[in-house]
């Protein structure tokens, strides 16, 4: 059967199970768009190609399926770069399809020509430049295999205009991936678990460090089984949140720079760290020289290159987490570790209950109030997509996620502007989920053009803007480390309620805590998109905080004046 | 320490760029990188020399295997291996100097591959040390230009190196071949 390269592209995507794509048309991708109309594909027209990549990313993280973004050559492709890098850092499987100028024009600086495979080489798992229709099916099929295989990540397929237009034989069977057996395969010795089990069974004060790999591997049940069987407390990374229920008694909460003080203290006091699908990012370790010095360390990660990268470990296992834990579980000796658990509980003191959420309502609206109330009103059951900054940390601290894949956020790259488009992708992937965007006034203004996409697609997404008139996290650093010299952090904004109204979206402004419930409930029950502009305390900071590169146990705590008020 | 890897890659456009980009991106310093065809059509072989510690070498190997066109990586650093570098050296040599240079070429078992009234071109193959040494003795006569290939390396014996990174090609059987000894 002879088809055009463009038809082969869609035939291949449909066979890979693709039903939704996020994109923006243009000259070099026009043949593909023309052919698309004949296929059962929902195309979401974005307002900027960066949005398309974040949507594909949000779609992938919400569903576990590969997200697809489409753009034209040149500027369309370069606009994708931030989204691709975001997906790379957070191991999110997306496939980006870009048009390219005709193969005869490559290298001639033709209109809208750009070397996008060169540009994205270090931020993709792999990429393809396709110059003939014969290669289209194999490239697409391999792209999906690479994107979802091993440690997932982004793959880009750049297809020249003539490769889309010319015709070739379409043979799906012949296009099956020919990845070498060596690619990303286990090496001898990668999976040895006996030494790890010995360490684990002998440990008095073990601690599980739970990362994004748990959700990616689908190992939620195994991790919980391990923790319960051996009575091991669990500390979460930002992207690990949700993979263990927040209400589980062994779940201590988040670790790291803005983690709970008792979690960081537990890491520093443990005699064994069991790192599961996490990568010892500098935001969770602080100063590596003083990090968990009393602990032996076991590290399981599917990506061998993560092992012994930042932290030297005693046992390094390169393996799919679920498979590794299935092997472990029968060998783990059930054990009472109540002295260790009691020690952690004691170190909590009253710090767990005396932070800002318990402040009496003195007329000020604090971001923590908003997040805490949002959690209470949604029963911890919403799919939250947070942006980057202070609100992201407050969300992680105050919204208690009970289920896997209910927090989507840009962790590794820290991409402001991620949340709104990622939420659009998440909602399209999981239309039944109650989706909330939690975003600052800075990040929202980076990609708020996607409100139009939300309207055009008639998506019931609720947007909570945590508006403090500052680039808050940077302002906080200036307050702590730059003598309160607020260089370029005060930021103005339009009237967000009016802006949303202009897009045909229900909107309201909230300035006091008593109005939070009403606004959230109205948004939840409307079956339409809603934007709530929460105008919160302007110069609040996220506590506790481990300054960049400082010892993990040396945290900046909330100034005592406020704590005293709380305990009154 | 200095690590020497041999890396088998698909012979496709852009592969050298992918490998070089990996080293740059991960802040590894390449001392030498050579690439050429192998006995198998469609397969190229790189010899990469990198200054890194053991952990760095293991991570580098892991990163290389994450590149789709990479088929096999051998770290032959601790194996018995032969390494060779080839150099072409153009030396200014007239009159009496020319005789001296020719004698040096003999001592080093190098070859003169071009002669002109004002200069000689010397070809030499060997370890980097040997070539460096020849270069030192030639320098006083006036080295006009030089081109070097960088290191190519191969493990001794009949079987490819089987370190923890070593593996066979798909479908290829590598038994317990005993090395036939070094030559």
Report pLDDT digits (tens) over A237-265: 999 999 999 999 999 999 999 999 999 99
Cα A325 off chain centre by? 24
pLDDT in tens, A153-197: 999 999 999 999 999 999 999 999 988 877 877 665 666 788 999
A551 vs B172, more confident: A551
Task: Give the residue from A180, A192, A311, A316 with the most B CB atoms within 10 Å of its CB, the best one to mutate.
Answer: A180
Which residues of A lie closer than 8 Å to B, measured between beta carbons? 117-118, 121-122, 125-126, 129, 142, 146, 150, 179-185, 187-189, 303-305, 307-309, 312, 318
Q: Are residues A294 and A422 in the same domain?
A: no
Q: Which residues of B are less than 8 Å from A305 in CB distance?
A: 59, 62-63, 66
| Nearest by Cα to A556 from A483, A482, A476, A474 | A476
Closest CA in chain B for residue A142: B68
Q: Which residues of B are less than 8 Å from A309 in CB distance?
A: 59
DSSP-derived secondary structure letter, A519: H
Residue A162 tokens read as: 């003539």
Which pLDDT value is given to residue A191? 63
Number of independent structural domains in chain A: 3
Query: Are A304 and B62 an interchain contact pair (Cβ–Cβ within 8 Å)?
Result: yes
Q: Does B7 touch chain A (CB under 8 A)?
A: no
Closest CA in chain B for residue A124: B67
Q: Are residues A333 and A238 in the same domain?
A: yes
Any domain includes A441: yes
Q: Are residues A501 and A366 in the same domain?
A: yes
Any domain includes A563: no
Any domain includes A181: no
Beta strands A530-535 and A251-254 are unpaired
How many other C-beta atoms can be found within 10 angstroms of the C-beta atom of residue A88? Answer: 20
Instruction: Using the 3D structure, point to which of A295, A317, A348 is the last residue of a domain.
Output: A348
Any domain includes A186: no
Which pLDDT value is given to residue A336? 95
A353 vs A294, more confident: A294
What's the N-to-C CA distance of chain B in angstroms?
26
Of residues B65, B72, B164, nearest to A189 (C-beta): B164
Any domain includes A565: no
Q: Does B27 touch chain A (CB under 8 A)?
A: no
Which pLDDT value is given to residue B178? 32
Q: Are residues A509 and A424 in the same domain?
A: yes
Which pLDDT value is given to residue A489? 97
Q: Domain with A231 in it: what CATH number? A: 3.40.50.1220
pLDDT in tens, A436-447: 999 999 999 999
Q: Are residues A455 and A435 in the same domain?
A: yes
Percentage with pLDDT > 90 across chain A: 91
Query: Are A146 and B68 an interchain contact pair (Cβ–Cβ within 8 Å)?
Result: yes
Q: Does B96 touch chain A (CB under 8 A)?
A: no
Q: Domain with A89 in it: what CATH number? A: 3.40.50.970
SS3 A258: coil
Q: Are residues A304 and A362 in the same domain?
A: no
Q: What is the pLDDT along chain B (183 residues), one digit of tens a residue?
A: 999 999 999 999 899 999 999 999 999 999 999 999 999 999 999 999 999 999 999 999 999 999 999 999 999 998 888 999 999 999 999 889 999 999 999 999 999 999 999 999 999 999 989 999 999 999 999 999 999 998 999 989 876 554 444 444 433 333 333 333 332
* Listed range (A133-147, A517-531, B92-106) with the worst mean pLDDT: B92-106
User: Phi and psi for B71 in degrees, rounded to 5?
Assistant: -100, -40
Percentage with pLDDT > 70 across chain A: 95
The verdict on whether A88 is a catalytic residue reads no
Q: Are residues A221 and A110 in the same domain?
A: no
d(CA A171, CA A540): 60
Q: Does B183 touch chain A (CB under 8 A)?
A: no
Instruction: Using the 3D structure, point to which of A284, A315, A348 is the last residue of a domain.
Output: A348
Query: Are A305 and B62 an interchain contact pair (Cβ–Cβ within 8 Å)?
Result: yes
Any domain includes A568: no
> CA angle B1-A311-A264, nearest 5°?
160
E strand intervals along A120-250? 126-130, 155-160, 167-169, 206-210, 234-236
Confidence of residue A567 (pLDDT cuts 50, 70, 90): very low
Instruction: Using the 3D structure, point to which of A292, A321, A348 is the last residue of a domain.
Output: A348
Q: Does B66 touch chain A (CB under 8 A)?
A: yes
Q: Are residues A334 and A423 in the same domain?
A: no
DSSP states of A289-333 as a string? GGTTTT-EEEEEES-GGGTTSSS--SEEEES-HHHHHHHHGGGPP
Q: Are residues A405 and A503 in the same domain?
A: yes
Which domain covers residue A403, as residue numbers? Answer: 356-542
**Burial of A116 (C-beta count, 10 Å sphere; 0-12/13-18/19+):** buried
Cα B48 off chain centre by? 7
Q: Which residues of B are less than 8 Å from A188 in CB distance?
A: 164
Q: Are residues A512 and A405 in the same domain?
A: yes
pLDDT in tens, A66-109: 999 999 999 999 999 999 999 999 999 999 999 999 999 999 99
If you average pLDDT over residues A210-228, what whole number do you get?
98
d(CA A408, CA A423): 8
- Is the confidence at residue A385, as pLDDT, over 70? yes
Query: Are A188 and B58 an interchain contact pair (Cβ–Cβ within 8 Å)?
Result: no
CATH numbers and ranges of domains, chain B: 2-78 (3.30.70.260), 82-148 (3.30.70.1150)
Q: Does B58 touch chain A (CB under 8 A)?
A: yes
Please, which residues 111-170 of chain B have a Cβ atom closer than 8 Å to chain A? 164-165, 167, 169-170
Any domain includes A71: yes
Among residues A11, A16, A49, A260, the one annotated as catalytic is A49
Q: Are residues A136 and A83 in the same domain?
A: yes
Which pLDDT value is given to residue B69? 95
Any domain includes A561: no
Q: Are residues A410 and A484 in the same domain?
A: yes
What are the CA-CA distances from residue A439 to residues A173, A180, A423, A435, A539 (Å)?
A: 45, 43, 11, 13, 17
d(CA A396, CA A542): 11
Instruction: Output the average pLDDT for chain A.
Output: 94
The verdict on whether A55 is a catalytic residue reads no
pLDDT in tens, A27-46: 999 999 999 999 999 999 99
């Amino acid at each position: 059967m002879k088809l055009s390269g463009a038809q082969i592209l869609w035939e291949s995507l449909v066979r890979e199970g693709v039903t939704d794509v996020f994109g923006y048309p243009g000259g070099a991708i026009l043949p593909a768009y023309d052919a698309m109309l004949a296929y059962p594909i929902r195309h979401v027209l974005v307002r900027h190609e960066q949005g398309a990549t974040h949507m594909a990313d949000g779609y992938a993280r919400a569903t576990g399926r590969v997200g697809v973004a489409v753009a034209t050559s040149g500027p369309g492709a370069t606009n994708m770069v931030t989204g691709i890098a975001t997906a790379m850092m957070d191991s999110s499987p997306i496939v980006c399809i870009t048009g390219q100028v005709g193969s005869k024009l490559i290298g001639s600086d033709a209109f809208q020509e750009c070397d996008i495979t060169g540009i994205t080489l270090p931020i993709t798992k792999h990429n393809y430049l396709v110059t003939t229709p014969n290669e289209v099916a194999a490239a697409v099929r391999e792209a999906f295999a690479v994107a979802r295989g091993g440690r997932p990540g982004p793959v880009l397929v750049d297809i020249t205009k003539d490769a889309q237009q010319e015709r070739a034989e379409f043979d799906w069977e012949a296009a099956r991936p020919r990845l070498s057996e060596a690619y990303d395969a286990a090496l001898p010795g990668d999976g040895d678990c006996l030494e790890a089990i010995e360490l684990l069974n002998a440990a008095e004060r073990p601690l599980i460090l739970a990362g994004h790999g748990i959700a990616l591997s689908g190992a939620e049940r195994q991790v919980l089984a391990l923790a319960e069987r051996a009575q091991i407390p669990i500390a979460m990374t930002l992207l690990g949140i949700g993979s263990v229920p927040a209400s589980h008694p062994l779940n201590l909460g988040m670790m790291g720079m803005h983690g709970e003080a008792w979690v960081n203290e537990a890491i520093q006091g443990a005699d064994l760290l069991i790192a599961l699908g996490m990568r010892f990012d500098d935001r969770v370790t602080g100063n590596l020289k003083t990090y968990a010095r009393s602990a032996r360390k076991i590290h399981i990660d599917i990506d061998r290159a993560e092992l012994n990268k930042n932290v030297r470990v005693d046992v390094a296992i390169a393996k799919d987490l679920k498979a590794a834990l299935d092997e472990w579980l029968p060998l783990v000796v059930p054990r009472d570790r109540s002295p260790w658990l009691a020690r952690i509980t004691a170190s909590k003191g009253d710090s767990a209950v005396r932070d800002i959420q318990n402040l009496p309502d003195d007329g000020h609206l604090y971001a923590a109030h908003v997040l805490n109330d949002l959690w209470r009103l949604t029963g911890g059951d919403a799919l939250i997509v947070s942006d980057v900054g202070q609100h992201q940390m407050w969300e992680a601290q105050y919204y208690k996620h009970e289920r896997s894949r209910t927090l989507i956020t840009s962790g590794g790259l820290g991409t402001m502007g991620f949340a709104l488009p990622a939420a659009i992708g998440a909602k399209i992937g999981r239309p039944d989920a109650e989706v909330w965007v939690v975003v600052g006034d800075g990040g929202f203004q980076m990609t708020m053009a996607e409100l139009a996409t939300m309207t055009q697609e008639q998506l019931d997404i609720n947007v909570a803007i945590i508006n403090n008139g500052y680039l808050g996290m940077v302002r906080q650093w200036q307050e702590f480390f730059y003598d309160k010299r607020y260089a370029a952090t005060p930021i103005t904004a339009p009237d967000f309620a009016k802006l949303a109204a202009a897009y045909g979206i229900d909107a309201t402004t909230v300035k006091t805590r008593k109005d939070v419930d009403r606004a959230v409930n109205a948004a939840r029950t409307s079956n339409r998109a809603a934007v709530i502009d929460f105008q919160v305390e302007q110069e609040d900071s996220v506590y506790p905080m481990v300054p960049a590169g400082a010892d993990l146990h040396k945290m900046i705590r909330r100034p005592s004046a406020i704590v005293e008020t709380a305990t009154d | 320490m200095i690590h020497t890897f041999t890396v088998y890659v698909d012979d496709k456009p852009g592969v050298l760029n992918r490998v070089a980009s990996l080293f740059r991106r991960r802040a590894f310093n390449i001392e030498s990188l050579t690439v050429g065809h192998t006995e198998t059509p469609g397969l190229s072989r790189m010899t990469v020399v990198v200054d890194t510690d053991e952990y760095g070498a293991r991570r580098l190997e892991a990163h290389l295997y994450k590149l789709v066109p990479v088929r096999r990586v051998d770290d032959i650093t601790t194996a018995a291996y032969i390494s060779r570098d080839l150099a072409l050296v153009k030396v200014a040599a007239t009159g009496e100097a020319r005789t001296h240079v020719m004698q040096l070429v003999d001592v080093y078992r190098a070859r003169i591959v071009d002669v002109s009234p004002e200069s000689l071109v010397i070809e030499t193959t060997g370890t980097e040390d040997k070539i460096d040494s020849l270069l030192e003795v030639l320098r006083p006569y006036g080295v006009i230009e030089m081109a070097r290939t960088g290191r190519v390396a191969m493990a001794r014996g009949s079987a490819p190196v089987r370190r923890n990174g070593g593996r066979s090609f798909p479908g290829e059987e590598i038994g317990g071949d005993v090395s036939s000894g070094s030559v």
